[in-house]
Structure 1
Amino acid sequence: MNAAVRFVSYVVLGALGVLVATAGALVQDGWFPGGLILALAGSAGLFYGGAQLTRNRLGAAVPTVLWFITVMYLSITRPEGDFLFAAGLGPYIYLLGGMATGVICATLPRHTPPGVPGARLGTR
């Protein structure tokens, strides 16, 4: 992948991170527990898909960071007293589960394809 295509893919993955976080925040408590499972599955799919698309860990880290920033922004109470996340178990599971999924996807070990020699001496 050349540098321009990789940069565009990071921008698109970041925008998708914001969209998935917003959609998950709206769905996770509305259809509890099915909405929570759907929101976490969408987040996991984005994080793992980003890592597979770019073939590096940054592909999962970029949407994870923007997902986290968006969820934190949406959890702040407004001056009018409105808020998006209720005080309950579901939002905490969504926040912690999404962060854990993002970290797991960003730190998964990279496997070399069959037939490609390893980076260490004497490995195949």
Structure 2
Amino acid sequence: MSGPKKRTRAGTGGNKPNAGASASAASAAAPRGGKGAPAAPSTGLAAPLSPARAAAYVGLFLLGAVVAAAGGLVQAAWFPGGLLLALAAAGGLFYGGATALGRTGGVLAPGAGWLVTVILLSDTRPEGDFLFGAGLGTYVFLVGGIVLAVICATGSQLRANGAQTARLGK
């Protein structure tokens, strides 16, 4: 009554591509330089933006703005300790965003929120009011926050590209 059944490989469904086809495609795309060289892990840059990840980016942007505003107030109020606390909060946010999302965007979103807020707060208004005064602590906070964002973004790119730690000279 029914025709001959199509035989499939063990472990694969009838409509699913078999593992041999994907393995041969991966070996064809592998670099020719080395025998059995592992392919670099995907950074996910071409992955579509999911609603959850978009919400995470918006939340990190807003959190970066809050950390910048709070850091601007704290760093001037308690000079040496407040400056360290403000920079630690910014660095923790940047590193936490990179770790939570596993992407460079996890650093860029709060870094952009931090930078936009700091620029808006450092601009003088016609009334003469401004939040950041000219002083060493203010400049260390501004430059230090940018340096921390760059360090965290660079570190997240290295982790995403699969860079391994190595000891030189041994």
The normalised TM-score by structure 2 is 0.63
Asked if structure 2 preserves the Cα contact closer than 8 Å seen for 1:61 and 1:106, the reply is yes
Percentage identity across paired residues of the two chains: 54
| Counterpart among 50, 57, 74 of residue 104 in structure 2 | 57
| Counterpart among 21, 39, 63 of residue 68 in structure 2 | 21
Equivalent residue number for residue 95 of structure 2: 48
Distance 2:124 2:77 in 1: 18
User: Which of 1 and 2 has higher RCO (CA within 8 Å, sep 6+)?
Assistant: 1
Distance 2:127 2:95 in 1: 37
Equivalent residue number for residue 83 of structure 2: 36
Equivalent residue number for residue 132 of structure 2: 85
The normalised TM-score by structure 1 is 0.86
Structure 1 runs of 4+ with >2 Å offset: none
Which has more helix, going by share of residues? Answer: 1
Alignment gaps of 5+ in structure 1:
113-124
How many residues are paired up?
111
CA shift for structure 1 position 3: 1.1
Equivalent residue number for residue 23 of structure 2: none
Q: Any residues of structure 2 matched to 1:3-22 within 5 Å, and which?
A: 3-22=50-69
